[in-house]
Amino acid sequence: MFTKLESTFEKPLFAVIDQLKDFKGEDGKGIDYKKIWTPEPRKIYGVLPERYWKDFHLTVMTINCKIPPHTDTEIITSINFYLQTEGCRTVFYKPKVDAPRTAQVENQTNGHIYFEEDLEEVDSFVAKDFEVWALDVTQIHSVQGDFKLRKAITLGTFVHKYKDVVEMLKETGNVIC
């Protein structure tokens, strides 16, 4: 579901180069992803063996409200480099009914939003600023807390499953099990 990397990171220089998807309501609240470029790619990509870098894309994610239980659209594994966390809790769930109810917002393709009453919490974590966490975003998860802005640089992949990414992180010494 999730794994904390062994070390923290220094914020790299980066510039936004393109607006990607956003998942926001009419009030402008939700999640926003922007493609970024950095002159210091090793500070981020360096958590992975270099032969896999081409399979990951670099974005900055901002969240400005509580995010309901959901699965991500298209991304299957995300490595989040948290810049600003405000004490939020990332919660993972499993269905407690055979057919949990779902909905989708604009821009969602294979991702879904789930009704919390159909779910049971199974685990959670609270990231701190400048920590790095790998997440299986095909699993139902939410962001809980009272906050104004949560921000992370993300390495996302459409290719590699979470368990394979954890093995990559072990290879570089960023996860020790």
Render pLDDT for 33-76 as a digit per residue (tens, 0 to 9). Answer: 999 999 999 999 999 999 999 999 999 999 999 999 999 999 99
Quote the Cα angle for 113-115-116, to 5°: 115
Residue 111 DSSP one-character state: -
Domain 2-171 fold is Jelly Rolls (2.60.120)
Question: Alpha-carbon dihedral of residues 140, 76, 108, 154, nearest 10 degrees?
Answer: 100
Span 79-83, mean pLDDT? Answer: 98
pLDDT of residue 106: 78
pLDDT at 147 over 80: yes
- Pairing state of beta strands 150-157 and 57-63? antiparallel
Q: How confident is the model at residue 90 (pLDDT cuts 50, 70, 90)?
A: very high
pLDDT, tens only, 91-133: 999 999 999 999 988 778 899 999 999 999 999 999 999 999 9
pLDDT at 22 over 90: no
**35 SS3 class:** strand
* Alpha helices for the chain (secondary structure H): 42-45, 162-171
Burial 86-111 (b: 16+ CB within 10 A, else e): eebebbbbeeeeeebebeebeebeeb
Q: How confident is the model at residue 19 (pLDDT cuts 50, 70, 90)?
A: confident
pLDDT at 6 over 90: yes
pLDDT of residue 105: 82
pLDDT at 27 over 80: no
Is the model more confident about 29 or about 49? 49
- CA–CA dist 120, 116 (Å, integer): 8
Burial 51-62 (b: 16+ CB within 10 A, else e): ebeeebebbbbb
